[in-house]
Amino acid sequence: MARARRRRRARVGPKRGLSVRRGTARDAAVICELIRGLARYERLERQCVIGPAAVRRHGFGRRPYFETLICRRDGQPIGLALYFFTYSTFLGQPTLYLEDLFVLPEARGAGAGRALLRALARLALRRGCGRMEWAVLDWNTPSIRFYRRLGAGLRKEWILTRLTGAPLRRLARAGS
Ligand SMILES: CC(C)(COP(=O)(O)OP(=O)(O)OC[C@H]1O[C@@H](n2cnc3c(N)ncnc32)[C@H](O)[C@@H]1OP(=O)(O)O)[C@@H](O)C(=O)NCCC(=O)NCCS
């Protein structure tokens, strides 16, 4: 098992035709497709309404809300990492928050996911981050195993808290 893993790792990199580069506005449709692929995998496709125009506007507009890395194999896009920066007040350092990580099903197990995370780790350190953080669905055991092997810790005591739709509007409207 460990030997097979080492063998797989040894094939990762330029030899396998993998490249990881920042996404540009021209990649908006590709980014959108990969986001949709992740939503499908997470069985949340109905919630995924993003289109290329929103990607262009929010990723590459005047005030970018996110950045992307795209992994290509032999020039073809096969994987995406979409991330942005938050801030850890306790550490007094920025955090690289990974919103989406996805590799096309037919391209998995060839090192693209690891290559994307490695590129993100380098970026995080270059930009002075104290940590990288992301959420994973509790049933996504292959990914959880992968993250644990990288040395990531799972923080089950934190509960994701979300205010959206009508309750969000109601709170915004409420008088003081
Ligand atoms: C998680 C994911 C991004 C990993 O990408 P990947 O390109 O398959 O990953 P790699 O080839 O770099 O392999 C990473 C590890 O995952 C394991 N792995 C995951 N899926 C695999 C598959 N289908 N086939 C073989 N190995 C797989 C590998 O053994 C490898 O472990 P190792 O590095 O310790 O040997 C990818 O499987 C994916 O897109 N999954 C569906 C979406 C998802 O779960 N996204 C993350 C949400 S939090």
Over residues 80-135, the pLDDT tens digits come to 999 999 999 999 999 999 999 999 999 999 999 999 999 999 999 999 999 999 99
E-only strand ranges, the chain: 18-22, 67-73, 76-88, 93-103, 131-133
Q: Which of 1-10, 14-23, 82-91, 144-153 has the lowest mean pLDDT?
A: 1-10
Q: What is the pTM of this model?
A: 0.90
Distance of alpha carbon 120 from alpha carbon 78, whole angstroms: 16
- pLDDT at residue 44 above 90? yes
Q: How many residues does the chain have?
A: 176
Which residue lies with its CA nearest to atom 37 of ligand 1? Answer: 108
**Does the C-beta of 108 come closer than 6 Å to ligand 1?**
yes
Q: Which atom of ligand 1 is nearest to the CA of 107?
A: 7
Task: Identify whether 147 is a catalytic site residue.
Answer: yes
CATH topology of domain 2-173: Aminopeptidase (3.40.630)
Domain ranges of the chain: 2-173
Average pLDDT, the chain: 93
